[in-house]
Structure 1
Amino acid sequence: MPQGFLLSRHHRDIAGKTEIHLWLSGPDGPAKLVVEGEQPVLMVAANNLAKAKSLLAGSLADVKELGFQSFAREPVAMLYFATLEAHKQGQAQLTSNGIEVLEADIKLSDRYLMERFARGAIAFDGVPTAKTGHTEWRQVRIKGADYRPTLKVLSLDLECSAKGELYSAGLYGNGAAKVLMVGTPEPSDGEIDWVADEKALLQRLEAEIARLDPDIIIGWSVVAFDLRLLAKRAERHGMTLRLGRGGEALWIRDATGDGQAFASLPGRVAIDGIDALKIATYNFESFSLEFVSQALLGRGKKTEDVDNRLAEIEHDFRFNKPKLAAYNLEDCVLVWDIFAKTRLLDFLILRSQLTGLELDRAGGSVAAFTNLYLPKLHRAGFVAPNLPLGGGLASPGGYVMDSRPGLYRNVLVLDFKSLYPSIIRTFKIDPLGLIEGLVEADAIPGFREAKFSRTKHFLPEIITELWQARDQAKRQKDAPRSQAIKILMNSFYGVLGSGGCRFYDTRLASSITLRGHAIMQQTAKWVEEAGHQVIYGDTDSTFVLLDDALDHDQADAIGKGLAADINARWQQTLQDEFSLECHLELEYETHYQRFLMPTIRGSEAGSKKRYAGLKSDGELVFKGLETVRTDWTVLAKQFQTELYRLVFSDQDPSAFIRATVEETLAGKRDGDLVYKKRLRRKLDQYVKNVPPHVRAARLADEHNKKAGKTLKYQGKGSISYLMTLSGPEPLEYQQSPIDYQHYIDRQLQPVAEAILPFINLEFEQLIGGQLGLF
């Protein structure tokens, strides 16, 4: 059978029946699979069937009772419709008359794919017809496959005026490295296709994309900015911009409220670099192309200032179009190189193969779980419940023990490998297993009166397969695959504890987290029975204090011995108490030669999720402290790093502290005093609580408005500001003197006071009299 990788899926009504269009990229080129006549279904309790048939008289295509039951163990009937419109109206009619409808929200194309276990790669058969640029298949049959695609990729970037008038379009990849530019021809080092005006630019771009025929279009905000702008400019010219395959039109759907946009490009996928990095769990202080490219590639744009860049673009369009073309193409290349460096497409392809999610789907952990679980559930004769009313009840969080604050030598970290997935595997935690376990005599006890079947479940097996696949990926050093599997496995607890998931049940989530609590507490007891002290525990990690006099090799041996001993004890305990095979695996992770567990500020109690340590190889590790937080200044981060290095090395930090204070007060550290913070809401949404960065952003846009510049901060973004004697002021419009005392009190002192008490020093005594020198 031919094979291909799924790029896009759509469904619609045509001539009184449904059609599902699946576009694939395959070894023989693009393929469009047309699936005709699939009937959308509604599921209702069998005792409501007579009423449902009466309400839907004349609109039903078929009714079947196939032996399915709900999670309430009530028989369920299937109501089939010929068209999507009839299905939609039928659902509205039933719900408005008080009849609960199950699984009504699952899209026809998604159901078609998941029931055939077709995730990403597809094997298919049917009747082919050659079309321009692709093959169309009808009378289609499909199934899941293991095809690894080689996708054609094109990087796209637009340059425009402040009003959105198109100047140029850069195209890079798949054999292209050119810029389409409005204007008369000029000599240039690069390839420029000159066009007469904006409409001609849109027409030429449409032709170039058809010629290059990419599977994937990548860019930076490529949907929310580039494709949306193209759609708007095309609309102004009365054009339908046909950027999809087979002459299909680009269609943009704007989400309400948050400015997010979604692009429909039949036969192609538009992937935004920002979204893709976030899906792959990358995190940056800023997701601007300049910041990310500098961080990942060590190079970037020539300027980061938005206003100056826009002014430069407009200037170059008038007076130096070859320079603008080079700038435009550079942005395309940067995005291309970021994708290559991070192997983002490899990651997204593997995620799609594992979960059935679309390549461009952001988030989607609930949908991924549904794709994996629902077909198995149906084959067991059950249909899924609807979302819980009111979002469900909160479930307990991970285990965090009270810490024992102190400055220590020789601390080990013992860490359970994928604790929550291993609990699911071991204790058979599963939505169907809960329903079946509640009526079985020999069920496995959970928490909050949960019981789980020993034999009827799917999630433990799903995790086992993923676990084995991840171990193989690690052995093969396949980082994208390993990361995709890790993210998926770790999402299962969150999904089961989310009111946005149809399988939510507080008994499921609590049986994972509370079992984790019990495991962590028992592990700590066994460690202490072995003669060691546990100073902290957090979710899946146990921090063990050893004797001060031990060297690294001795500590290493103890760590390995503890892990092996506790693993053996868990295997025996679970067999004795529950007759279960143990999948818990405690690993010896780290030996800290020096370790600080600070107190909560203003208290003698130990903090949680905040610590620092010095590894045997000299690496400093900070968790939850200022050094790893983006809302602290460079001054504080550098101060903390050097201060801790001195203390961990048993050196007196007094002179360093005094020197840092003196340099700060003397204005020698002004470049390190900038705060940079994200605006997580629109500026006008801050009403009652107006923090410093919001005040600075408002002040900046007041200056921008007076200067006739673009308002930069109204719709989220990041602001850089300084604390001055007049309060927070934006970096670009600072007018008042810097408030150095603020930085001493709010940046240096808190950092110092977290560690100095443990070496019998006080910050204020060390710097006493310093303020009077300036």
Structure 2
Amino acid sequence: MTVSNLKGFLLSRNWRDTPAGIELELWFTTDKGPLCALVQGQRSTFFLSRDELGIAGPLLEGTPGVEVQPLELRDFAHTAVVGVYCRSYRQARQLADALEERGCEPLEADINPVDRYLMERFVAGGVELAGHITTRAGHLWVENPKIRGADYQPSLRVASFDIETAMEGVQLFSIGVHGYGGEGPEQRRVFMLGEGATQDYVQVCVNQEAVLQAFVDWLGEFDPDVLIGWNVVNFDTWYLQRVADVCNRRLLLGRGRRPVHWRELDEEGERRTVQCPGRVILDGIELLRAAFYRFESFSLENVSRELLGKGKLIHSPDRGEEISRQFEEDKTALAEYNLKDCELVSRIFEHTDLLAFAVARSRMTGLNMDRLGGSVASFDNLYLPRLHRQGYVAPNASRDLTASPGGFVLDSAPGIYDHVLVLDFKSLYPSIILTFAIDPLGLALGTLPDIAADETVPGFLEARFIREGHILPGLIAHLWALRDDARAAADAPLSQAIKIIMNSFYGVLGSTGCRFFDARLASSITRRGHEIIQRTREQIEAAGHRVIYGDTDSVFVWIHEAANDAEAESAGRDLERSLNQWWCETLMQEFGIDSVLELEFETHYRRFLMPTIRGSDKGSKKRYAGVVRSGGEDRLIFKGLENVRTDWTRLARDFQEELYRRVFVGEPFEGFVQQTAAQLRAGELDQQLVYRKRLRRRLDEYQRNVPPHVQAGRLDEARGLPPPQARGRGGVCADHRGGGAGAGCAGPVGLRTVHRASATARG
């Protein structure tokens, strides 16, 4: 088949050095099916100041396969640069290292060829390809196409899979799959070791290698774009890799039966990523966290209960033993259980629009859907191609590690109040960047000696930012407009993805791992935020109100004169209007700039409690509670207190909520406290004394800060109880009564452990 132009969405990227140059392999999903694009003869590129050619020249000239070209680009010292082009990425890295040893500073040498190729073409998810497209091995194929970024919303075919295994060793019992998307009907299959299951969706396999082969064959037939699951990378896929290793074969989950590729993320080998050519593997737990979902436990049982109102078919503490029993005695039940887990993951993805969120992130950042971190890489993808078109190349990461201050927190005034309003600056840090023209290139240009002061906006630490010719403020404005459009269209996944990206920019600029890190940049954001909060408080108190707390981008205002809700809320609207107007006038008068700062009257607490720090009469910070009216009913809100912290027991949280409710509504509370204490000492509330928290270190390694779950673990250890034993995937709890030594509690499958406080702890 020949098609001159085709739009698609990027699923996977890879590159390899060859004798003929670097070869890029890009897989896309398109309206006409999956497509593989092979881009050949590429070179690896970095930049070098022309001033360094005297030192670098002999090395560059004496290395075969290296070409040096003068360019119309400059570095941040405003010196012209040359481009250094190498036949292989390995050669480029070796050459860059050799140049550094000679005192040179190669620029952008860390960017791999496929990332540079895509970012320079503004490819962020969607693309348009032009070339001679044919069919090979059942997929579309094109060599050396023309590629450019394009707007394309993919329709993805998805397979949710889940495995069941023995508790010890490498023994695969079954693999369940639930496939959906595309034009065909949903598919449900379970590939089971041995006979005994009676369902028509069960395929019997003679050994675990046959189970794995049946799954690989099904993937080839159904051909999903995306594989999903629960801790699917570090448990399911990694376990299948171990099965493949035992069977002396490769794990062929990629399109065209290509093998997966692994990369370790920590020295212990407990966390890893996997690349699957032609497909994306997405983990439900990590994706929920990336979208800022919060749960007491990220176990599939807990999350599905909270979101869907239904859970797993086996939810007892000895789940592993029950799975083994069902495999031996009731394979019909095991097949049903295995398939139900697949369907629960599918329904969670649908309920939360997780797939749409992953697509939206990729469209905004240019990163693959399965790359959930990478804030610095996201910033590079967005900023570097725009920087190059402005005629500049990026610096290397600074060796100056001067820290910038964090968010500003006002001292709180502890007490119980009526009518407290929260006034919140909408996206404060992005709005500061946009208002005050804060930008890496803008800083480099604004500090030139021949730039007049009125051509710049002052920052902090003697920073000055050019008023014209910057990049980041325009990028913020573009994303802001996109988010407004997404909100107007009720596109929640896209709106959330844009919000996360915009809010990450300060963190990136304040990170020493960022090539643009400069204390003047980060401080000009945070210190400006401090100033804004302080001056806002002054204006509010000048109007006769009292600010009892402030935190980064919010101020808490006590409307002490309000006799009822209506008066308090009217005061909030007046403050919102007057303060926004004041900031517009003030910034134009002091800096000659247009303000995009936007203060919103966000919340009205009918009653509000700001507690003291334990053992002190000073007010707490980032910890408070209050009552708001919602839907005609009062609702309690807790921030930072035990009620919303999963590292405290259910008893502590429930007790606090009921105690505060009684205090807020004026009900007696003494009897409730006494009754709870008596039940606690009598052991009647033991089932609520459970800590669910990951142990990331051995118990004896917790020294300066010893949180409650570690204390419980130490008590159990002192009583000689056994260490935790668990199987499962991230968030699946092993219910045990001992903290043990803590070794293995955050094992290779990301186990969460449950520590039950002993009678000693109750005292």
Given the two structures, how large is their TM-score scaled by the length of structure 2? 0.91
Which deviates more, 66-75 or 574-583? 66-75
In the TM superposition, 1:618-629 aligns within 5 A as 618-629=634-645
Q: Residue 192 of structure 1: CA displacement?
A: 0.6
CA distance in 2, matches of 1:45, 1:84: 20
Contact 2:712 2:755 (8 Å CA) reproduced: no
Amino acid at match of 2:88: T
Which deviates more, 689-698 or 476-485? 689-698
| Shift in CA distance, 683/445, structure 1 to aligned 2, threshold 3 Å | same
Partner of 1:173: 179
Partner of 1:237: 247
Q: Does 1:116 align with 2:125?
A: no
In the TM superposition, 1:123-202 aligns within 5 A as 123-161=128-166, 162-174=168-180, 175-184=186-195, 186=196, 188-202=198-212
Contact 1:429 1:460 (8 Å CA) reproduced: yes
In the TM superposition, 1:182-331 aligns within 5 A as 182-184=193-195, 186=196, 188-257=198-267, 259-304=270-315, 308-331=318-341
Query: Of 458, 461, 466, which aligns to 1:445?
Result: 458
Partner secondary structure for residue 648 of structure 1: helix
Q: Does 1:591 align with 2:587?
A: no
CA distance in 2, matches of 1:389, 1:537: 34
Q: Residue 340 of structure 1: CA displacement?
A: 0.9
Partner of 1:633: 649
CA distance in 2, matches of 1:270, 1:715: 16
Query: Of 24, 27, 34, which aligns to 2:28?
Result: 24
Q: Residue 41 of structure 1: CA displacement?
A: 1.0
CA distance in 2, matches of 1:69, 1:523: 41
Amino acid at match of 2:32: D
Q: Residue 60 of structure 1: CA displacement?
A: 3.7
Amino acid at match of 1:463: I
| Shift in CA distance, 614/687, structure 1 to aligned 2, threshold 3 Å | closer
CA distance in 2, matches of 1:696, 1:190: 48
Partner secondary structure for residue 664 of structure 1: helix
Map Cα deviations across residues 359-396 of structure 1 (whole Å, 9 max, x no partner).
00021111111100000111111111112227x22111
Contact 2:39 2:145 (8 Å CA) reproduced: yes
CA distance in 1, matches of 2:303, 2:57: 58
Contact 1:155 1:336 (8 Å CA) reproduced: yes
Q: Does 1:488 align with 2:494?
A: no
Q: Residue 35 of structure 1: CA displacement?
A: 1.0
Partner of 2:346: 336
Contact 1:409 1:548 (8 Å CA) reproduced: no
CA distance in 2, matches of 1:231, 1:155: 17
Query: Of 660, 663, 686, which aligns to 2:679?
Result: 663
Q: Residue 710 of structure 1: CA displacement?
A: 4.4
Partner secondary structure for residue 616 of structure 1: strand
Which deviates more, 211-220 or 475-484? 475-484
Amino acid at match of 1:494: G
Q: Does 1:420 align with 2:424?
A: no
Partner of 2:588: 575
Q: Residue 59 of structure 1: CA displacement?
A: 2.4
Q: Does 1:533 align with 2:549?
A: no
Amino acid at match of 1:92: D
Contact 2:197 2:335 (8 Å CA) reproduced: no
CA distance in 2, matches of 1:640, 1:600: 16
Partner secondary structure for residue 349 of structure 2: helix
Query: Of 61, 70, 73, which aligns to 2:75?
Result: 70
Amino acid at match of 1:168: S
Q: Residue 639 of structure 1: CA displacement?
A: 2.0
CA distance in 2, matches of 1:704, 1:136: 63
| Shift in CA distance, 195/683, structure 1 to aligned 2, threshold 3 Å | farther
Which deviates more, 532-541 or 674-683? 674-683
Q: Residue 635 of structure 1: CA displacement?
A: 2.2
| Shift in CA distance, 262/723, structure 1 to aligned 2, threshold 3 Å | closer
Amino acid at match of 2:649: T
Partner of 2:94: 89
Contact 1:701 1:713 (8 Å CA) reproduced: no
Map Cα deviations across residues 248-273 of structure 1 (whole Å, 9 max, x no partner).
21222333335112112110011111
Partner of 1:398: 407
| Shift in CA distance, 736/348, structure 1 to aligned 2, threshold 3 Å | closer
Contact 2:13 2:27 (8 Å CA) reproduced: yes
How many aligned positions are there? 732
Q: Residue 16 of structure 1: CA displacement?
A: 2.5
Amino acid at match of 2:446: G
Partner secondary structure for residue 35 of structure 2: strand
Partner secondary structure for residue 345 of structure 2: helix
Which deviates more, 102-111 or 465-474? 465-474
Query: Of 523, 527, 537, which aligns to 1:514?
Result: 527
Q: Residue 641 of structure 1: CA displacement?
A: 1.5
CA distance in 2, matches of 1:84, 1:497: 29
Contact 2:188 2:201 (8 Å CA) reproduced: yes
The answer to which structure, 1 or 2, has the higher relative contact order (CA under 8 A, 6+ apart) is 2
Amino acid at match of 1:136: W
Map Cα deviations across residues 49-86 of structure 1 (whole Å, 9 max, x no partner).
24323113132432111122211222221110122232
Q: Residue 721 of structure 1: CA displacement?
A: 7.6
Amino acid at match of 1:212: F
Q: Residue 612 of structure 1: CA displacement?
A: 1.3
Partner secondary structure for residue 99 of structure 2: helix
Amino acid at match of 1:288: S
Amino acid at match of 1:625: L
Which deviates more, 163-172 or 681-690? 681-690
Q: Percent identity?
A: 47
| Shift in CA distance, 7/489, structure 1 to aligned 2, threshold 3 Å | same
Which deviates more, 105-114 or 221-230? 221-230
Which deviates more, 662-671 or 175-184? 662-671
Amino acid at match of 1:170: G
Q: Residue 672 of structure 1: CA displacement?
A: 2.3
Partner of 2:379: 369
Map Cα deviations across residues 698-753 of structure 1 (whole Å, 9 max, x no partner).
7879999979x9467999986778899xxxxx99997964554x3xxxxxxxxxxx
Contact 1:13 1:84 (8 Å CA) reproduced: yes
CA distance in 2, matches of 1:651, 1:536: 27
| Shift in CA distance, 348/734, structure 1 to aligned 2, threshold 3 Å | closer
CA distance in 2, matches of 1:334, 1:243: 22
Contact 1:9 1:21 (8 Å CA) reproduced: yes
| Shift in CA distance, 710/531, structure 1 to aligned 2, threshold 3 Å | closer
CA distance in 2, matches of 1:684, 1:206: 45
Map Cα deviations across residues 454-498 of structure 1 (whole Å, 9 max, x no partner).
001111111111111111222222111111011011101111101
Q: Residue 686 of structure 1: CA displacement?
A: 5.0
Structure 1 residue runs of 5 or longer lacking an equivalent are 725-729, 743-774
Q: Residue 691 of structure 1: CA displacement?
A: 6.0
| Shift in CA distance, 683/712, structure 1 to aligned 2, threshold 3 Å | farther
Map Cα deviations across residues 616-638 of structure 1 (whole Å, 9 max, x no partner).
34111111112111222222222
| Shift in CA distance, 182/704, structure 1 to aligned 2, threshold 3 Å | farther
| Shift in CA distance, 437/668, structure 1 to aligned 2, threshold 3 Å | same
Structure 2 residue runs of 5 or longer lacking an equivalent are 181-185, 740-751
| Shift in CA distance, 241/608, structure 1 to aligned 2, threshold 3 Å | closer
Q: Residue 685 of structure 1: CA displacement?
A: 5.2
CA distance in 1, matches of 2:276, 2:264: 15
Contact 2:216 2:252 (8 Å CA) reproduced: yes
Q: Does 1:693 align with 2:709?
A: yes
CA distance in 1, matches of 2:499, 2:366: 16
Which deviates more, 505-514 or 613-622? 613-622
Map Cα deviations across residues 101-132 of structure 1 (whole Å, 9 max, x no partner).
11111111000000010100011111222112
